[in-house]
Amino acid sequence: MKYSEIKTLDQLEKAQKKVRSRIKSKGDDVVDSFHGVKDAYTPSHLLVSGLKSVSEYIPIDQLLLTTVRRAKKRLLK
């Protein structure tokens, strides 16, 4: 319904209820989206994402394996 077509107080109230329900629905969508983003960007997820992007240039897996081997040798001595 267009607001220019509203002639009575009852029609106005119905139109306002529709607008309020649409606003609430959009607000709920925004909150859900925010929670989804918040859950996706945890510190561990950001760390893993950063390591993946860096590993294209630096052999992180080899560095990590070497570090683990050295630590294992020191602990088992």
72: in domain:
yes
39: in domain:
yes
1: in domain:
no
Please name the residue that has the structure tokens 């993946």.
52
36: in domain:
yes
pLDDT tens for the chain, 77 residues long, are 687 888 999 999 999 999 999 999 999 999 999 999 888 888 888 888 888 888 788 887 788 889 999 999 999 87
Model pLDDT, residue 38: 86
| Residue 15 one-letter amino acid | A
Residues of the domain holding 36: 8-76
46: in domain:
yes
Model pLDDT, residue 72: 92
Domain count, the chain: 1
58: in domain:
yes
24-29: long-range contacts at Cβ-Cβ below 8 A with a sequence spacing of 24 or more? Answer: none
2: in domain:
no
Model pLDDT, residue 24: 96
57: number of CA atoms within 13 Å, CB side?
Answer: 4
